[in-house]
Chain A
Amino acid sequence: MIGFLQSIFGEFYGKMIFILLDATQYTIYLSLVAFIGGGLIGLVMTVLKILPNRATRIFATSYIWLFQSIPLLMLLFLIGLGVPSFFKVDVSPWLAAGISLTLFTSAYMSEVWRGALESVPNGQWEGARALGMTFRQTLLDVIAPQALRIATPPTVGFMVQVIKGTSMAYIIDFTDLMRWGKKIANSQVPGAEPFIVFPIVALIYFALCFPLSQWSKAMERKQALGKTR
């Protein structure tokens, strides 16, 4: 890999790009952790929010409200720096970054999904309930499949926000693309000035995010077409 890169970009830049790409894998891992963890918690919050139960609804609403209102950077500081110093425990950057991004993602995901569920017309609930289907059956077999189609494009689109969000984790020493980019840019080595390194870093982020946002847009277009059919 490194040899291949060096044969194209020369010894110096080949090595630099290798280091950056190598660091990119951690950006991807963290994004996946946030996406899967946030997705699961988000799903639970979505269900709690629409259950016909006041207590669960208030809990989920508060949760969503709380984590949507705290900037991601603040979450990272709180969990990566605040918690360790207050409780005198060790929190690895991995754990702190994973938790922060999961909380951040879950709040947005549940908002997107709740919105999708609520955009299914009320008549669908009534139609199913009038046939004798239970709340659960109605939710799973009638409402969720329709909501899923509505929710998929914004969900994939939000993945882009998650990937970009991971770049903030460098602040608590999480070793990812951003952190290595910054390290190299600060190295004072000629040829590795910020105006060279950061565009490369940006290009890698772009390569990760662009296909996702295009995919999301394509799905949205397809749905819009389906509607007018």
Chain B
Amino acid sequence: MIQSQAAPQQASDDIAVTLKGVNKWYGDFQVLRDINLTVQRGERIVICGPSGSGKSTLIRCINHLESHQEGTITVDGVTLSDKMKDVEKLRRDAGMVFQNFNLFPHLSVLDNCILPQRRVLKRSKAEAREVGMKFLTRVRIPEQADKFPGQLSGGQQQRVAIARALCMEPSLMLFDEPTSALDPEMVGEVLETMVELAGTGMTMLCVTHEMGFAREVADRVIFMDAWQIVEENTPDAFFDNPQNERTQNFLSQIL
């Protein structure tokens, strides 16, 4: 039954995310306008654009923290809707890193990594601990495992948040301005972690204005303005030779 209904998808294994004609409103206010986007597996995409242009909303729709009203969003072959059965499975496949970390302040760094593994993946305590330490080591803060988030610097907290998301072994990582809330001297360590993650072949969608990062790792840069995708290009073409007037304006402001 289920198999026969599955629509034939063109090389669906190679495609991580597709958005087709996505429209979204908050009440009467349209925040996403006809968004079309295909993300190949392993692709690294940077999304930038002025504040309020709908970047957060776009990536929050991809793990269904927000729901859209029109169009289709498909993640790992699963089409999202309000009626979808296993939204938890989708969310654990699409890890998310927030501007404000959203670590659990009442749990130690290691327990932040352990809790979701125990609850969502039903891993044993020992396994969850081992995986937690593995990823804390990967983001280079294994020695902070027993501290509480409030005792860490912003940069360290964000790296814990990345490790916590990676513990769920996602196939896709979403970043929403992961360095915007950080003191300037801590931006580097988080970007470095993200560059390393890109090196592992992870599919990444990053909302960020860090142009150095975009040039170094992005396969494509997407520029959003006024709730739609205005321009889309390779980083070098995008930064050196922006086509759209609004892109040129935006770049002249941030560069």
List residues of chain A with CB under 8 Å of any chain B CB: 123-124, 126-134, 137, 141-142, 145-146, 149, 229
Q: For the complex, count residues of B whose C-beta is within 8 A of A.
A: 25
Q: CA A141 – CA B116 in complex, angstroms?
A: 10
- Least Cβ distance of A79 to chain B in Å? 40
B89 within 8 A of partner (CB)? yes
Asked whether B115 is an interface residue with its Cβ less than 8 Å from the other chain, the reply is yes
Complexed CA–CA distance, A149 and B107 (Å): 13
CB distance from A26 to the nearest CB of B (A): 39
Structural contact, A132 and B102, CB atoms closer than 8 A: no
B91 and A130 within 8 A (CB): yes
Task: List which B90-126 residues lie within 8 A (CB) of chain A.
Answer: 91-92, 95-96, 98, 100-106, 115-116, 119-120
**Given the contacts A123-B98, A141-B115, A141-B119, A130 and B103 also touching, CB distance less than 8 Å:** no
List chain A residues, Cβ under 8 A from B95. 130-131
**Docked CA distance A181–B80 (Å):** 68
Cα A124 to Cα B101 in complex, Å, equals 9
Binding site for A on B (CB under 8 A): 63, 65, 88-89, 91-92, 95-96, 98, 100-106, 115-116, 119-120, 150, 161, 164-165, 168
Residues of A within 8 A of B96 (CB): 130
Q: Which of B63, B65, B104, B161 contacts A124 (CB 8 A)?
A: B104
A residues less than 8 Å from B161 (CB atoms) = 127
Contact partners of B91 in chain A: CB under 8 A = 129-132
CB pair A126 B98 closer than 8 Å: yes
Task: Look across to chain A and name the residue whose beta carbon is closest to the beta carbon of B104.
Answer: A142
Contact of B105 among A129, A131, A133, A146 (CB under 8 A): A146
The 4 closest A-B pairs by CB, nearest first: A127-B102, A132-B92, A131-B116, A130-B96
Cα–Cα, bound, A127→B102 (Å): 5
- How far, in Å, is B167 (CB) from chain A's closest CB? 9
Most buried by B among A126, A130, A131: A131
In the bound complex, what is the Cα–Cα distance between A193 and B248 (angstroms)?
Answer: 90
CA of A127 to CA of B112, assembled, Å: 11
With both chains docked as a complex, state the minimum distance between the C-beta of A49 and any C-beta of chain B, in angstroms.
Answer: 22
Does the CB pair A127–B104 fall under 8 Å?
yes
Residues on A with C-beta less than 8 A from B100 are 123
Residues of A near B164 (CB, < 8 A) are 131
CB < 8 Å neighbour of B119 from A124, A130, A137, A146: A137
- Given contacts A123-B98, A141-B119, whether A130 and B104 have CB atoms under 8 Å apart is no
Within 8 Å CB of B89, what residues of A? 132
Residue of B63, B105, B116 near A128 (CB, 8 A) is B116
State how many angstroms separate the Cβ of B249 from the closest Cβ of chain A: 32
CB distance from A54 to the nearest CB of B (A): 15
Given contacts A127-B102, A132-B91, 14 further A-B contacts (CB under 8 A): A123-B98, A123-B102, A124-B102, A127-B104, A127-B161, A129-B65, A130-B63, A130-B65, A130-B98, A130-B165, A131-B95, A132-B120, A133-B88, A145-B106
* A131 with B65, Cβ < 8 A, contacts A123-B100, A142-B104 known: no
Contact A132 B88 (CB under 8 A): yes
User: Which B residues are CB-close (under 8 A) to A128?
Assistant: 104, 116
Q: Please indicate the chain A residues that have their CB under 8 angstroms from the CB of B102 in the complex.
A: 123-124, 126-127, 130
In the complex, what distance in Å separates the CA atom of A172 from the CA atom of B100? 55
Q: Which of B101, B106, B150, B165 contacts A131 (CB 8 A)?
A: B165
Please pick, from B63, B98, B101, B116, the residue contacting A133 in the complex, using a CB distance under 8 A: B116
Complex Cα gap A146–B148 (Å): 14
Collect the chain B residues with CB atoms within 8 Å of residue A137's CB.
119-120
User: Would A127 and B120 count as touching, CB distance under 8 A?
Assistant: no
Bound CA span A146–B168, Å: 23
B98 and A127 form a contact (CB under 8 A): yes
Q: CB distance B168 to A127 under 8 Å?
A: no
Residue of A nearest to B116 (CB): A131
Cα separation A133 to B114 with both chains bound (whole Å) = 12
